[in-house]
Amino acid sequence: MTQNVSRRSFLVGAGLFGSAMAATMAGCAPKTADEMAAGGGAATDATGAAVIGSPSFLSAPEPITDIKETKEADLVVVGLGVAGVSATRSAAENGLSVIAIERCEEPSARSSQFAAFNTDNARMMGIEDVDTTELVNEMMIQCGHRSDFRVLKNWADHCGEAFDWYAGAYDGLLWQIPGGEQYDQETQYYVGNNNIYAPYRYGVDHERVFTGTLSFRTPEKGHKPIMMANFQKALDTGNVEALFNARARQLVTDETGRITGVIFEDVTTGEHTQVNGTQGVVLATGGYVRNDDLLAYYMPWIYNLKDKFTFTYPHADVNGDYSDQGDGMLMGHWVGGRIEEGPHCAMAHGDLGKMGVAAFLQLNANGERYINEDLTNDHFGSAVLRQPGTLVYQLFDGDFAEQVTHMQSGLGSYTKLAPEVVESVDEWTSAKGDTIEELIANLGVEEDVAATMKAEIERYNELAEKGKDEDFGKTAERMFALKKAPFYAIKWEVTGGEGNDVHDSLRCLVTMSGLSTNKNAQVLDENFRVLPGLYAIGNTQGGRFLGDYPATLAGASHSIAMTYGYLTGKFIAENA
């Protein structure tokens, strides 16, 4: 039976799923144009004619007619992750009756970092005010100006107030003020700030990153207790009915084309229920990282290298089927919503272990230096995938602990190593040598690679002594010659697969592209006009990130999901 939960009857309980999880919509790559034309699997236009070259999943399925029950509310929220929970609470607190449906057995929470700034709480936590136009312009550059400036700016202007609202749901939450009392994450729930970066210096720092990230620290090692407190706040309004084990299948429209509801399937019984929303439907179903057809079509550079990735969020329903299937994006498209142009974005990155992507010398499998090493981990991951054998080496000398303090802070980069990390260097490195020749020999590479490595190290040392990186342009203050024994190397060969050590692979967390929206999260049609009654937030919302997830500001993804949930619930209520 579908679980019907409202107000205090909700009980927090994590569903435990086995390892045999299979994606219900996953499989082989999409059919070719010829295959679709021959087999009738192509998408169709308004006349029913096949659109050659379009994959079959873009065609709307036959309407579901076996409706067992119909429910009514002001608003329907589809998906209860960070975005959906925030939208549900926001809409309910602003007076709307809400039916929220979730495919899994409970709301889904991931990670703990949220970008938040320009409020008294952020200032108290040591975050100086951020110029949101500067931030958004940098994010636009990082995304090749394919994002929607207006969507990002609306988030940046309101993320601080949204975070204060979201954090305020948890009674007794502590704020670990820099220089103040230090709390114990094993026993206490608090907000911390571990992302204070030195100001960007033009002509010195390769990456432009912004300080503006707060993290929830809890004994559960994530922010789920805070999200569940927000969910409970929504239930406490008396305006919310929550339905679990409910997979949305199709949207409902009226004769004018307005979206008026959604039909969901009870994943335990297969029965269908229609939920009508007089004010529309909010899609917050997440991305499509577990849908092979969508991944192959929209992100072949990820799909074709799937064996190099570990897919790190195995969120699944009671049947063990992964939930990140792109359901919201497809349902929105079937009723006329525009799926944004590519290149679609995945959060996919990696690092070199204990020192992250600190800007020490890197050589590829041929022994060649291949990049300016002063990178955040998203750009590092993209570069490694383009190296022979997806294998690289990071090399440094005995002064590494002091040298790392000169690195630029950023996602995946560190400027201080714990004493125990320094002391255990022999355990987390791959080779060591008292001379450069001994180090290379201990790496066990072929003779020609060894010769190239030696020549590249000599060249790097020459450039470091000269104080100018003529080959790749890395700032002189991060060009550390390998001259003090012992010498160390980390060998990093990208492998993938479920259950692997995340430091042996690139991590593919989520996809981050979806339906085109305006700055109010209203879904747009193919002509960029508002599709009445339909909203998309979280990883179902387009216009945020294209190409690669930019590390310009840690926690931006979570923050946008939370902020647009908060803003969208208010917007719909105010315009009801």
Mean pLDDT, rounded, for 13-22: 32
Element (H, E) at 135: helix 132-142
Q: What is the 3-state secondary structure (H, E, C) of 281-330?
A: EEECCCCCCCCHHHHHHHCHHHHCCHHHEEECCCCECCCCCECCCCHHHH
pLDDT at residue 9 tops 50? no
What is the model's pTM?
Answer: 0.89
pLDDT at 16: 31
Of 71-80, 123-132, 277-286, 350-359, minimum mean pLDDT range:
350-359
Using alpha carbons only, what angle is made at residue 190 by residues 187 and 194, rounded to the nearest 5 degrees? 110
Mean pLDDT, rounded, for 49-67: 84
pLDDT at residue 14 tops 60? no
User: Do residues 309 and 496 touch, judged by C-beta distance below 8 A?
Assistant: yes
DSSP class of residue 494? -
Mean pLDDT, rounded, for 317-326: 95
Element (H, E) at 345: none
**pLDDT digit string, tens, across residues 463-506:** 999 999 999 999 999 999 999 999 999 998 887 655 444 456 68
Element (H, E) at 98: strand 98-101
pLDDT at 371: 96
Residues near 270 by beta carbon (within 8 Å), at least 6 away in sequence: none
Angle, to 10 degrees, between the axis of helix 556-574 and the axis of helix 82-93?
30
**pLDDT digit string, tens, across residues 152-201:** 999 999 999 999 999 999 999 999 999 999 999 999 999 999 777 888 88
Identify the CATH number of the domain defined by range 351-504: 3.90.700.10
**pLDDT digit string, tens, across residues 503-551:** 566 888 899 999 999 999 999 999 999 999 999 999 999 999 999 898 8
Residue with tokens 């990186």: 469
The dihedral sign for the CA sequence 323, 328, 334, 339: negative
Return the percentage of the chain with pLDDT > 90, whole number: 75
3 state SS of 42 = coil
Return the percentage of the chain with pLDDT > 70, whole number: 89
pLDDT at residue 313 tops 90? no
**pLDDT digit string, tens, across residues 408-459:** 877 777 778 889 999 999 999 999 999 999 999 999 999 999 999 999 999 9
CA distances from 239 to 5, 73, 83, 165, 234 (A): 12, 9, 18, 19, 8
CA atoms within 13 A on the CB side of 167: 28
Using alpha carbons only, what angle is made at residue 82 by residues 78 and 87, rounded to the nearest 5 degrees? 55
Residues near 318 by beta carbon (within 8 Å), at least 6 away in sequence: 15, 104, 105, 245, 267, 268
pLDDT at residue 205 tops 70? yes
Q: How many CB atoms lie within 10 A of CB 242?
A: 26
CA distances from 191 to 213, 218, 372 (A): 10, 9, 35
pLDDT at 51: 53
pLDDT level of residue 30 (50, 70, 90 thresholds)? very low
pLDDT level of residue 15 (50, 70, 90 thresholds)? very low
pLDDT at residue 331 tops 70? yes
**pLDDT digit string, tens, across residues 360-379:** 999 999 999 999 999 888 88
pLDDT level of residue 128 (50, 70, 90 thresholds)? very high
pLDDT at 551: 86
More confident residue, 32 or 394: 394
Range of 45-49, 352-356, 489-493 with top mean pLDDT: 489-493
pLDDT at residue 72 tops 50? yes
Domain boundaries, the chain: 113-217, 351-504
pLDDT at 471: 98
Residues near 455 by beta carbon (within 8 Å), at least 6 away in sequence: none
- What is the C-alpha separation between 444 and 285, in angstroms, rounded? 48
User: Do residues 510 and 525 touch, judged by C-beta distance below 8 A?
Assistant: no
pLDDT at 52: 54
- What is the C-alpha separation between 133 and 544, in angstroms, rounded? 15
pLDDT, the chain, mean: 89
Mean pLDDT, rounded, for 283-288: 97
pLDDT at residue 211 tops 60? yes
Residue with tokens 């809400």: 98
- What is the C-alpha separation between 9 and 261, in angstroms, rounded? 25
- What is the C-alpha separation between 571 and 86, in angstroms, rounded? 13
Q: In what order do the strands lie in the sheet with 309-311?
A: 309-311, 506-511, 346-349
